[in-house]
């Protein structure tokens, strides 16, 4: 998917920016093949903890999208919504994008559902749609290879840090929605 997979954490493998089969330069999440662990059955919740988890998941994406517009690894919204290893990887890849003169354009449409929730951790699955692409900042031209918008499966782990939920890990399956999303 577009830029859904644009910032890698240490120890995480990356998905491609600009689409499945794209560049291995900048990635926020891990590309994976569907596994038994991604076959979680999501639930719909209206409880306050579930609402907070989904808001935190969306905030993490908003922070990433904001930071990607100018490839800013020090964007304070990142630290407010993510923790290691996700934060570490996103920052590293935004720095690489910045050094190579690349930025992100486009948007993400999220459809998250809670797959599991405990007092301190949560798993969210999503079938996210992206129109995002990496572009060269000086010219505005897309970074090859260019792929059309697509739906990608996302599985995110969030951790309760103090009283705030933050994204700690995220995996993306290019071109295929997560089971149960």
The residue behind tokens 């910045």 is 98
Radius of gyration (C-alpha) of the chain in whole angstroms:
15
Does the residue 181 lie in any domain? Answer: no
Q: Which residues contact 147 (CB under 8 A, 6 or more apart)?
A: 2, 18, 19, 20, 21, 22
Could you tell me the pTM of the whole model? Answer: 0.78
DSSP state of 29: S
Does the residue 179 lie in any domain? Answer: no
Measured between alpha carbons, how far is residue 138 from residues 41, 61, 74, 102 in Å? 44, 25, 21, 8
Looking at residue 17, what is its pLDDT? 41
Burial readout 120-133 (b: 16 or more C-beta within 10 A, e: otherwise): eebbbbbbbbbebb
Does the residue 180 lie in any domain? Answer: no
Looking at residue 10, what is its pLDDT? 28
Looking at residue 37, what is its pLDDT? 33
Has residue 12 got a pLDDT over 80? Answer: no
Looking at residue 147, what is its pLDDT? 79
pLDDT tens digits, 98-136:
999 999 999 999 999 999 999 999 999 999 999 989 999
DSSP state of 36: G
Q: Shortest CA distance to 171 belongs to which of 63, 89, 52?
A: 89
Has residue 40 got a pLDDT over 50? Answer: no
What are the phi and psi torsion angles at 77 (to 5°)? Answer: -65, -30
Please, are residues 48 and 117 in contact by the beta-carbon 8 Å criterion? no
Average pLDDT, the chain: 80
Count of structural domains within the chain = 1
Looking at residue 28, what is its pLDDT? 39
Average pLDDT over residues 31-45: 38
Has residue 18 got a pLDDT over 60? Answer: no
User: 85 preceded by cis ω (within 30°)?
Assistant: yes
CATH assignment at residue 56: 3.10.450.50
Q: Which residues contact 36 (CB under 8 A, 6 or more apart)?
A: none
Task: Identify the weakest region by mean pLDDT among 26-40, 66-80, 154-168.
Answer: 26-40
Q: Which domain holds residue 80?
A: 3-31+41-173
Average pLDDT over residues 27-50: 48
Has residue 25 got a pLDDT over 80? Answer: no
């Amino acid at each position: 998917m577009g830029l859904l997979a644009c910032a890698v954490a240490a120890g995480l493998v990356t998905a491609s920016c600009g689409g499945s089969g794209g560049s291995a330069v900048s990635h926020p999440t891990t590309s994976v093949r569907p596994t038994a662990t991604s076959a979680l059955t999501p639930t719909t919740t209206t409880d306050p903890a579930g609402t907070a988890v989904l808001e935190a998941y969306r905030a993490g994406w908003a922070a990433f999208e904001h930071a990607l517009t100018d490839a800013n690894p020090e964007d304070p919204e990142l630290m407010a919504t993510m923790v290691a290893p996700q934060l570490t990887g996103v920052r590293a890849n935004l720095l690489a994008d910045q050094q190579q003169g690349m930025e992100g354009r486009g948007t993400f449409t999220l459809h998250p559902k809670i797959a599991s929730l405990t007092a301190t951790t949560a798993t969210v699955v999503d079938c996210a749609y992206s129109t995002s692409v990496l572009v060269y900042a000086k010219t505005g031209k897309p970074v090859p290879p260019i792929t059309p918008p697509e739906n990608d499966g996302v599985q995110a782990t969030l951790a309760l840090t103090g009283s705030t939920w933050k994204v700690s890990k995220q995996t993306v399956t290019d071109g295929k929605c997560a089971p149960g999303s």
